[in-house]
């Protein structure tokens, strides 16, 4: 058995706030209802409401004049502090408030029925308060009263009188400068309209919609292409002119290239060759005739004359072809020169036209860019004028260092009742939810596989969900994990020849008997001959004897006088139950083996591949220790939310002393709560067959 160690950090998954809240939901709801129920009457008793209006005055330490060329006026640090105190005293002084009470609208909204002006003034002095937070240039003015509703009218009237008095010492020609700025703005607006019209004309002529810096001239590519074509035409013209000169100029041997080319053409002329061939054939024929004749023979003279005529014809044809060839070569060369010159001139004219167009396009485009810059510059000037106009407009109402920042808005009904109710709600939810989480943390009972792993020192062999007949998904997933555990036992039987497993629990009620029968049943369905053997004399289970009326069982076989074969007492399997051997009648809460237990197990192994033994709880009966010695493996069943860590450690210590070949743990009856993190997500994935999307709230709560 592995030693118990907590050297490696193990995530137990125990802290689940949402599970704790759902677990103690009625307690949480009770606390919330009680605290909110107490908070409502408290709010009505201690939270009497009143009306309140607020306004803010800005006191600048530096007054920036309207024109940048005029030097600004600064207040030193000490002067600025005294100046703020002076303004606060001015706002709260009686003369200013008395003047405000002379306004009919103020009297209507402040003076109560039957109240004198002096009494209303005293009440106004106590209700108005001005204060400045250190380090800020703002003075906050607050007016509070329990009955007066339209305090904003009263406060704005007081501020208006205060600003007029403050303005009396600092007058500026703001209105006149605003008029001049408006005239300048109109002039700039007209200039923008004119420049936009010019830019639109340029855009229509160039066929563009926008003008941007570093934009390519569309004629550049055309110019490059035309220039290239023109240079090629000029080169062609030079080539043909040079060719003509080469034809006519004589070379060093006295012959011109033209003569050589003409002679080649004459020699290679097929018509002349055919003509010569015919004439030479006739001359040969005549010379043959002349060979047998004397010079005095009449035929000799005629043949000789015909030969002379043939030679003359050959000479004339050669001269005529030579002449024609010479003329053709010269005319062809001249025609090529003419063609090259014409193409060159045409391309030259087109190039000049494209250059003119490109220059025109570039000039107009640059003009448009200049117009864009001028318009942008005018807009900057307009923005400055607008800012200056706004500043002067504010200055016309609040000149100098003091100006109104925020006027008093509609009076707000203030009271602690709303705050008390909100606070009670916050306390109710905080206390209710916090108490549920604390109670859940104080509950040290083992509930997750991670906790079991952390205490035992090795992960559990399996964890099984609590069966829920009303939830098919939970039931199916629980059966699937039970089948997985049965496959693990089968694998251990094949690999390690472990043919006997003992199932014991820490305390009673862990579901060991049900688990034994279920595993044996599943293994039987998998083709493994399995027997469920009841050895729990501490508490017998009727399911082992179901289907038989016999009271005999294992205790009968262990009797020293018994000679029955064990297989005769086995209860055969049914649709729901496997082959099983009940413990039978016994008067004791422990087994008396009489040294026959190993012999009986050996006889049973002859008929079964695997035997699963159901034993009493480890902490309550010594039989589990006895049976652990004869089993190939011991599985400790831990009931979720029923076993304390100390109890599990004591059970683990007992198993460690027994030192069986194989030790495993099973966390049984794991509960699944709504919002229960891994288990709830696992059921959802099992139900849908798809991976559940991550939930940021759950990741935050269960991390």
User: Which residues touch 659 (CB under 8 Å, ≥6 apart)?
Assistant: 1
Q: Tokens 């798809």 — which residue?
A: 690
Distance of CA 461 to the CA centre of its chain: 39
How far apart are alpha carbons 36 and 56 in whole angstroms?
Answer: 37
DSSP 3-state assignment of 663?
strand
Report pLDDT for 691. Answer: 61
| SS3 assignment for 548-563 | CCCCCCHHHHHCCCCC
Q: Tokens 């809460």 — which residue?
A: 589
Please state the pTM of the whole predicted model.
0.47
Report pLDDT for 524. Answer: 92
614, β-bridge pairs: 503, 534
Whole-Å CA distances, 580 to 510, 605, 613, 675: 20, 13, 10, 40
Contact 667, 454 (CB under 8 A): no
Q: State which residues of the chain have pLDDT below 70.
A: 1-16, 43-49, 61-76, 148, 167-176, 215-220, 250-256, 391-401, 410-417, 560, 562, 624, 627-629, 673-703
Contact 577, 522 (CB under 8 A): no
How far apart are alpha carbons 17 and 674 in whole angstroms?
Answer: 12
DSSP structure string for 376-434: HHHHHHHHHHHHHHHHHHHHHHS-TTEEEEE---SPEEEEHHHHHHHHHHHHHHHHHHH
Report pLDDT for 174. Answer: 58
**Residue whose C-alpha is closest to residue 501's, from 663, 649, 620, 669:** 663
Report pLDDT for 682. Answer: 63
Q: Please, what is the end-to-end C-alpha distance for the chain in angstroms?
A: 31
Whole-Å CA distances, 560 to 565, 595, 596, 665: 13, 9, 8, 35
| SS3 assignment for 447-465 | CCHHHHHHHHCCCCCEEEE
**Residue whose C-alpha is closest to residue 1's, from 642, 636, 601, 445:** 636
Crossing angle, helix 472-496 and helix 678-688, to 10 degrees?
A: 100
Could you please state the CATH topology (level 3) that the domain comprising 47-172+400-410 is classified under: Bacterial polysaccharide co-polymerase-like (3.30.1890)
How far apart are alpha carbons 400 and 543 in whole angstroms?
Answer: 99
Contact 587, 555 (CB under 8 A): no
DSSP 3-state assignment of 99?
helix
Contact 516, 478 (CB under 8 A): no
Report pLDDT for 69. Answer: 40
Q: Tell whether the torsion through CA atoms of 397, 400, 405 and 406 is positive or negative.
A: negative
Parse the chain into domains and list their residue ranges.
47-172+400-410, 218-368, 449-672, 673-703
Contact 53, 142 (CB under 8 A): yes
How far apart are alpha carbons 238 and 197 in whole angstroms?
Answer: 51
Domain 449-672 architecture:
3-Layer(aba) Sandwich (3.40)
Provide the Cα torsion 321, 322, 328, 334; round to 10°. -170
User: Which residues touch 220 (CB under 8 Å, ≥6 apart)?
Assistant: 358
**pLDDT tens, residue by residue, 330-367:** 788 888 888 888 888 888 888 788 777 778 777 877 88
How far apart are alpha carbons 12 and 455 in whole angstroms?
Answer: 10
Whole-Å CA distances, 465 to 454, 543, 647: 20, 22, 22
Side-chain half-sphere CA neighbours of 235 within 13 A: 6
DSSP 3-state assignment of 521?
helix
């Amino acid at each position: 058995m592995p030693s118990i160690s907590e050297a490696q950090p193990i995530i137990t998954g125990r802290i689940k706030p949402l599970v704790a809240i759902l677990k103690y939901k009625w307690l949480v709801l009770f606390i919330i209802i009680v605290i909110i129920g107490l908070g409502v009457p408290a709010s009505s008793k201690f939270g009497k409401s009143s009306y309140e209006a607020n306004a803010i005055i800005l006191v600048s330490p530096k007054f920036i004049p309207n024109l940048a060329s005029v030097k600004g006026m600064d207040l030193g640090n000490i002067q600025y502090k005294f100046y703020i105190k002076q303004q606060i005293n001015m706002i709260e002084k009686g003369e200013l408030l008395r003047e405000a009470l002379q306004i009919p609208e103020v009297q209507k909204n402040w003076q109560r029925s039957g109240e004198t002006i002096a009494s209303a003034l005293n009440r106004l002095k106590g209700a108005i308060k001005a204060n400045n937070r250190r380090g800020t240039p703002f003075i906050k003015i607050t007016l509070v009263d329990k009955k007066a509703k339209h305090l904003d009218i009263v406060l704005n009237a007081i501020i208006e009188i205060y600003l007029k008095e403050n303005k009396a010492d600092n007058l500026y020609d703001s209105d006149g400068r605003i008029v001049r700025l408006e005239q300048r703005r109109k002039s700039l607006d007209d200039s923008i309209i004119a420049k936009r019209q010019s830019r639109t004309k340029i855009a229509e002529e160039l066929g563009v919609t926008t003008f941007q810096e570093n934009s390519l001239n569309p004629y550049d590519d055309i110019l490059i292409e035309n220039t290239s074509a023109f240079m090629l035409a000029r080169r062609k013209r030079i080539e043909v002119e040079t060719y003509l000169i080469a034809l006519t100029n004589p070379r060093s041997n006295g012959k011109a290239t033209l003569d050589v080319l003409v002679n080649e053409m004459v020699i290679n002329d097929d018509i002349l060759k055919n003509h010569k061939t015919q004439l030479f054939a006739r001359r040969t024929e005549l010379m043959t005739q002349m060979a047998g004749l004397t010079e005095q023979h009449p035929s000799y003279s005629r043949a000789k004359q015909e030969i002379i005529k043939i030679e003359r014809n050959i000479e004339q044809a050669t001269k005529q072809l030579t002449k024609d060839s010479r003329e053709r070569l010269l005319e062809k060369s001249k025609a090529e020169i003419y063609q090259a010159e014409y193409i060159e001139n045409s391309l030259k004219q087109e190039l000049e036209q494209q250059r003119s167009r490109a220059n025109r396009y570039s000039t107009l485009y640059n003009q448009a860019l200049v117009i864009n810059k001028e318009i942008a510059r005018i807009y900057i000037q307009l923005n400055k004028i607008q800012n200056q106009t706004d500043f002067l407009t504010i200055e016309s109402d609040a000149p100098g260092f003091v100006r109104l920042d925020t006027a008093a808005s509609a009076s707000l009904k203030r009271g602690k009742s709303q705050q008390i109710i909100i606070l009670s709600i916050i306390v109710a939810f905080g206390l209710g939810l916090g108490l549920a989480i604390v109670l859940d943390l104080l509950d040290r009972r083992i509930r997750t596989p991670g906790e079991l792993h952390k205490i035992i020192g090795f992960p559990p062999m399996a964890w099984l969900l609590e069966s829920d007949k009303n939830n098919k998904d939970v039931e199916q997933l629980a059966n699937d994990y039970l089948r997985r555990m049965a496959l693990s036992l089968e694998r251990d039987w094949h690999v390690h020849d472990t043919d006997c497993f003992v199932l014991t629990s820490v305390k009673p009620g862990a579901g060991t008997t049900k688990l034994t029968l279920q595993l044996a049943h599943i293994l039987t369905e998998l083709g493994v001959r399995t027997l469920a053997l009841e050895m729990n004399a501490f508490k017998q289970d009727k399911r082992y004897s179901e289907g038989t009326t016999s009271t005999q069982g294992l205790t009968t076989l262990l009797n020293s006088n018994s000679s029955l074969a064990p297989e005769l007492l086995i209860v055969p399997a049914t649709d729901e139950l496997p082959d099983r051997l009940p413990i039978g009648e016994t008067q004791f809460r422990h087994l008396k083996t009489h040294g026959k237990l190993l012999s009986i197990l050996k006889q049973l192994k002859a008929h079964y591949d695997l035997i699963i033994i159901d034993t009493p709880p480890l902490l309550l009966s010594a039989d589990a220790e006895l049976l652990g010695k004869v089993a190939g493996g011991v599985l400790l069943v831990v009931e979720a939310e029923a076993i304390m860590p100390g109890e599990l450690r004591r059970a683990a210590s007992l198993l460690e002393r027994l030192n069986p070949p194989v030790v495993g743990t099973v966390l049984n009856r794991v509960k699944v709560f709504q919002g229960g993190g891994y288990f709830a997500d696992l059921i959802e994935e099992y139900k849908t067959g798809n991976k559940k999307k991550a939930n940021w709230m759950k990741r935050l709560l269960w991390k």
